[in-house]
Amino acid sequence: MTTSTRNVVAWILQGLLALAFIASGGNKFLNLAATVESFGKLGLPGVLAYVVAAAEVLGGIGLLIPRFVRPAALGLMLIMVGAVVMHATRIPGGLAGGMPALALLVLLGVVFWLRQLAPAAR
């Protein structure tokens, strides 16, 4: 795969992931009371709902800024690991319900790897 192709693939993935995370974090903010309640039902502190929502929005924005792509991807991967673990251990439906989180985790890993090989065009 040429450097140009890697760059195009990375930008496409970054754009799609940015949309997904900005929408997810924005939805958490729009339904903050329900989000805090659902975190509480899982045994998590309510303040974590604020942290996750903000991290998703900021991480999504970070995926669109060349200087912040790798740190944003890494931070969002940590959130997705937490989501996968919660689905596997506490959320009804098990890991099957956590497949979107697992898919996002893998795609973030691909972006992280692609940007290590070919830095974002400036």
Q: What is the pLDDT of residues 2-37, one digit of tens each?
A: 889 999 999 999 999 999 999 999 999 999 999 999
pLDDT for the residue numbered 90: 92
Q: How many other C-beta atoms are found inside a 10 Å radius of the C-beta of residue 51?
A: 12
**Could you give the number of structural domains in the chain?**
1
Coil, helix or strand at residue 120:
coil
Examine residue 112 and state whether it is found in any structural domain, yes or no.
Answer: yes
The answer, yes or no, to whether residue 86 has pLDDT greater than 50, is yes
**What is d(CA 102, CA 81) in angstroms, rounded to the nearest whole number?**
8
Examine residue 25 and state whether it is found in any structural domain, yes or no.
Answer: yes
**What is d(CA 86, CA 59) in angstroms, rounded to the nearest whole number?**
20
The answer, yes or no, to whether residue 122 has pLDDT greater than 90, is no
Examine residue 103 and state whether it is found in any structural domain, yes or no.
Answer: yes
Domain span including residue 62: 3-117
Please, what is the angle between helix 99-117 and helix 69-89, to 10°?
Answer: 160
Examine residue 84 and state whether it is found in any structural domain, yes or no.
Answer: yes
Residues in Cβ contact with 94 at an 8 Å cutoff, skipping those fewer than 6 apart: 87, 88
Examine residue 122 and state whether it is found in any structural domain, yes or no.
Answer: no
